Amino acid sequence: MKILISGLVNIETTLRINSFPIHYYPVDYPFYGIHSSVSGVAYNLAKALGTLQDSVQLFSFLGNDDEALRILNQLQKDNISTKGIMQVLSQTPVSVILYDKEGKRQIYCDLKDIQEKTLPMENEQLETAVKECDLVVACNINFNRSLLKKAKQFGKQIATDVHVLSDLEDEFNREFMEYADILFLSDEKLPCRPEEFLCQLAKKYKNKVIVVGRGSCGAMLYDREQNKLWQLDPVPCDNVVNTVGAGDALFSSFLHYYQKGYSTVEALVRAEAFASIKIGHNGAATGFCSEEEVEKTIVDRRPAVNKINLECI
């Protein structure tokens, strides 16, 4: 399966803290509590899908600095092609993430000048990648707006994750929601119950599949073909280390299983297991597992699936 992924790649530093809110003190020594690695949504997705044996073509922007060199070296180690990486930024994006033992996190993302860039859709390599792929994963970042149009022009299936959303008319994310066949989001800032918001999304946009990640409450799914809603309980994790990247793990693994022909419910069951295993590790791009590990997990920890009696359209 060939998957085109376009989005942010950056250097991420995570810091383990005692609790939120953080009270001022001049110095702390969190031994082994600071971790720096290559991350960013597009990298997380590419690495996860590569672990699941999908063929990935990655496109992103970096600078010409030490951080970019570190990223390029890591991509080569992960057997992710660097041909789609354009080093035209003034600096490479970086992020800092604070997280506590309960899994709460606070993210600081410095995008540098990446939001001013646009994917060069006239580029032969990029156009060929769109033509030949089975799925276009367009992360919700400015430079992907031209990709949405090109992918739709070629009749490609489009998937996107808009992450935190509180408004159906969200100006930044509206175009991504309009183009996406498969739409993911979080329940963190929803203005109403997730099932109500799902129905509102289904009525306003034409997404085939919508998934709301609900963290420790599991996930909720809407399937347009069946016009049905489901709530899935979470797959328990014995030792939660860091929930950063859990949403990316859920999104990428769902795409993998759905593209393989699994039903939306069965794909999400396996995606929850994949994400549950992932959060037992530290770092947004660590802890990805194989299909075999997923299947072993759902033998004993298969989540309950409950249909919600609510018709959206």
Give 217-234 pLDDT, tens digit per residue. Answer: 999 999 999 999 999 999
Q: Is 57 within the bounds of a domain?
A: yes
Q: Is 163 within the bounds of a domain?
A: yes
CB 189 within 8 A of CB 164: yes
Nearest to 68 by CA among 50, 87, 90: 87
Q: Is 40 within the bounds of a domain?
A: yes
Q: Is 313 within the bounds of a domain?
A: no
pTM for the full predicted model: 0.94
Q: What is the pLDDT of residue 309?
A: 83
Least confident of 45-59, 115-129, 278-292: 278-292
Span between the terminal Cα atoms of the chain, in Å: 32
Our count of domains for the chain comes to 1
CB 74 within 8 A of CB 47: no
Give 160-212 pLDDT, tens digit per residue. Answer: 999 999 999 999 999 999 999 999 999 999 999 999 999 999 999 999 999 99
Give 243-283 pLDDT, tens digit per residue. Answer: 777 899 999 999 999 999 999 999 999 999 999 998 887 76
CB 182 within 8 A of CB 229: no
Q: What is the pLDDT of residue 238?
A: 79
Q: What is the pLDDT of residue 8?
A: 98
Nearest to 235 by CA among 163, 306, 297: 297
- How far is Cα 260 from Cα 258, in angstroms, rounded to an integer? 5
Q: What is the pLDDT of residue 262?
A: 98
Beta bridge partners of 99: 16, 105
- How far is Cα 254 from Cα 271, in angstroms, rounded to an integer? 5
Give 45-100 pLDDT, tens digit per residue. Answer: 999 999 999 999 999 999 999 999 999 999 999 999 999 999 999 999 999 999 88
- How far is Cα 82 from Cα 79, in angstroms, rounded to an integer? 9
Give me the CATH number covering residue 9.
3.40.1190.20
Q: Is 200 within the bounds of a domain?
A: yes
Range of the domain at 134: 2-308
Backbone angles phi, psi at 60, to 5 degrees: -165, 175
- Token pair recorded at residue 216: 């420790």
Q: Is 17 within the bounds of a domain?
A: yes
Q: Is 103 within the bounds of a domain?
A: yes
Report whether pLDDT(29) > 90. yes
